[in-house]
Amino acid sequence: MPRKRREMMGQRFGKLVVIGRGEDYVHTTLHPDGSETTFRVPRWICRCDCGGTATVTQNNLVSCTTTSCGCKRRENMRRAATFRWRGENAEA
């Protein structure tokens, strides 16, 4: 019996809101005995609060591994560079 698909449309995960279904990620594993196992991981198209978009696997959304389109990472990198440039302590 096939698994029931999880409905994700409109759900928020961090800064991301699911706006559509993407193409599934297909993963094939070859076993030592020559057999194969293939499985599909659903991907979702998400809109970020900053206006960007990202295609994210369902696993990464549900586990909160991916919570932005990358803007949060860029902001953190910019903040860290500013602290280093000024010679300030990042913890302060």
In this prediction, residue 65 carries a pLDDT of: 93
The ranges assigned to domains in the chain are 12-86
pTM across the whole model: 0.70
In this prediction, residue 23 carries a pLDDT of: 93
In this prediction, residue 20 carries a pLDDT of: 95
In this prediction, residue 75 carries a pLDDT of: 85
* pLDDT tens readout for residues 20-52: 999 999 989 999 999 999 989 999 999 999 999
For the chain, give the longest Cα–Cα distance.
Answer: 60
CB 40 within 8 A of CB 34: no
* pLDDT tens readout for residues 51-62: 999 999 999 999
Instruction: Provide the percentage of residues in the chain whose pLDDT is more than 70.
Output: 84
Beta bridge partners of 54: 46
Interatomic CA distance for residues 76 and 26, integer angstroms? 32
Interatomic CA distance for residues 3 and 58, integer angstroms? 14
CB 69 within 8 A of CB 48: yes
